[in-house]
Amino acid sequence: MVDLLEKHKGMADRFQRMLDMGINGLGVTNDQMLSPTRAMVGNREIILAGTNNYMGITFEPSVIAAGQKALAEFGSGTTGSRIANGSFAMHKELERSLAEFLRLKHCIVFTTGYQANLGMLSGLAGPKDTIYLDADSHSSIYDGCTLSGAKLVRFRHNDAADLDKRMARSEGEEGGKLVVLEGIYSMLGDRAPLADFVALKQKHDFQLLVDDAHSFGVLGPNGRGLGDEAGLEDGVDFVIGTFSKSVGAIGGFGASNHPLFETLRYAMRPYMFTASSSPASVATSIAALKVLKEQPERRAKLWANSERLFNGLRALGLQTGTDVVSPVIAVKMPDELTTITKWNALFQAGVYVNMAVPPGTPNRLCLLRCSVSAAHTEAEIDRIIAIFKEAVA
User: What does the pLDDT look like over 153-205, one tens digit per residue?
Assistant: 999 999 999 999 999 998 888 899 999 999 999 999 999 999 999 999 989 99
pLDDT category, 55, cuts 50, 70, 90?
very high
**What are the distances in angstroms from CA 290 to CA 55, 138, 252, 281, 339?**
12, 28, 16, 14, 39
Q: What is the mean pLDDT of residues 18-44?
A: 94
pTM (two decimals)? 0.95
Q: Tell me if 7-58+296-391 shares its fold with 61-294.
A: no
What residue segments make up the domains of the chain, in order of their start?
A: 7-58+296-391, 61-294
Catalytic residue among 106, 214, 301, 342: 214
**Best CA proximity match to 254, nearest among 114, 45, 131, 79:** 114
pLDDT category, 3, cuts 50, 70, 90?
very high
d(Cα 371, Cα 188) in Å, to the nearest integer? 10
205 phi-psi bin (left φ>0, alpha ψ -120 to 50, beta other): left
Q: What is the pLDDT of residue 171?
A: 84
Q: What is the pLDDT of residue 139?
A: 94
Catalytic residue among 186, 256, 278, 306: 186
Q: In DSSP terms, which residues pair with 81 in a beta bridge?
A: 275
Q: What is the pLDDT of residue 344?
A: 97
Class of the CATH-defined domain 61-294: alpha beta
Q: What is the pLDDT of residue 86?
A: 87
Q: Is 214 a catalytic residue?
A: yes
Radius of gyration of the chain (CA): 21
What are the residues whose beta carbons fall under 8 Å from the beta carbon of 75, sequence distance 6 or more?
A: 279
Q: Is 92 a catalytic residue?
A: no
Fold entry, domain 7-58+296-391? Aspartate Aminotransferase, domain 1 (3.90.1150)
Mind listing the pLDDT tens digit for each residue in 221-269? 999 999 999 999 999 999 999 999 999 999 999 999 999 999 999 999 9
Q: What is the mean pLDDT of residues 115-130?
A: 97
**Best CA proximity match to 328, nearest among 25, 128, 100, 50:** 50
Q: Is 87 a catalytic residue?
A: no
d(Cα 157, Cα 362) in Å, to the nearest integer? 10
Beta strands in 49-155 (DSSP E): 106-110, 130-134, 151-155
Catalytic residue among 245, 301, 342, 376: 245
- Average pLDDT score, the chain: 96
Rounded to 5°, angle at Cα 204 from 140 and 156:
45
